Amino acid sequence: MTWTFSALSPLVSMGVAAFLTVAPAAAQSSIELETVADGLSYPWSVAFLPEGGYLITERDGVLKHVDAAGGQTAVEGVPEVFAQGQGGLLDIALDPEFGTNGTIYLTFSQGSVEGAGTSLYKAVVATSPARGYALTGGETIFAGNNRSYGGRHFGSRLAFAPDGHLFMTIGERGEDERAQDPSDHAGSVLRLTRDGAPAPGNPFLERDGYRPEVWSIGHRNPQSAAIHPETGKLWTVEHGARGGDEVNIPEAGKNYGWPVISYGRHYSGGKIGEGTEKQGMEQPIHFWDPSIAPSGMAFVTGDTYPDWRGNLLVGALRGRHLARLELDGARVVAQEKLLGDLDERIRDVRQGPDGYIYVLTDSDDGRLIRLVPGSG
């Protein structure tokens, strides 16, 4: 199937010091959508195996191995998850040295008598003729204190920094004020070692009343994380309420404002906090209003998509499209709505080692789809 896309009308974005009008982006001539795997149950994240094939998390707690032909088998050894609402088995990341150590990391919502919170699981992928793919030696290496009852706002994404440390995002569990409490993991970005400990150089390591794992605070429900391929900096995307979805570049020790400042409104229509800015709180580099409910994201590198090189792709759940953001450094200067005719919630977006862009659709019959440039 071939899809041809046209640019959107201009929207408004937030720059560092002023508002700017975002022009329509130049469209790729055509894209063919190839279904790699279907029949997935609310897939959340995908990782690419060096030998080919994929590991895909499903929110209800199943980790799937998908081979190159689309065949699927469940991977044993996954931790028990709290699968309720937005909670379940969430992100997956391969260790930077996966080729030699076979290690993977999973984020998941973990239940307890104090409620459910976001945790990090580390295990080694093993294979055998009898068992197929399985996780061995697994352990929970970090458990957030963002525990609460209910199934809202767990986050969560993982991104390995160039120095080998691991960024992990955590939602505020639907309890706004917790994002401003530095003793609470809720509503924050964390920076961890590969063993789940606070990473050296974190901004609050020696500060009383602060969690040593915390990198930045004031986040609502960060649903994506990616490392910029040129600067090496972390970029995140988070859900607003009614409007106010944000793209941020979280810096050490900074406060990103939720729920004191926001470009959205409460679902009731009421004002959030004190307005859109406050001294000592950071501005997003871009926001959406109305909300698109952004999810996974990926930077486009290489020459597979010549019109998109250097762009940022962001999946939209509520918006049911793939947003393409054209960048000038840390500014969004143009954007385009892709895959709107697909009419699917886009949960994850990744660029594979083959240079192609892959998306996961969020449904009880979800798909892993490869985007292939067409000739038309």
Catalytic residues: 153
- In the block, tokens 């004191």 appear at 260
Q: Which amino acid is at 51?
A: E
Give rounded-to-5 percent helix, strand, coil for the chain.
5, 45, 50
DSSP H helices in 240-350: none
Q: How many Cβ atoms from other residues are within 10 Å of residue 132's Cβ?
A: 14
331-338 and 19-24 strand pairing: parallel
Burial (CB < 10 A; 0-12, 13-18, 19+), residue 280, is: exposed
Cα separation values, 91 from 55, 61, 105, 293, 296, Å? 11, 11, 8, 17, 10
Determine which helix (DSSP H) or strand (DSSP E) holds 236, and give its type and residue range.
strand 234-239
Tell me how far apart the alpha carbons of residues 97 and 154 are, in angstroms, rounded to a whole number: 27
What's the chain's Rg over C-alpha atoms?
20
144 token code pair:
């957030």
Phi and psi at residue 149, in whole multiples of 5°?
A: -85, 155
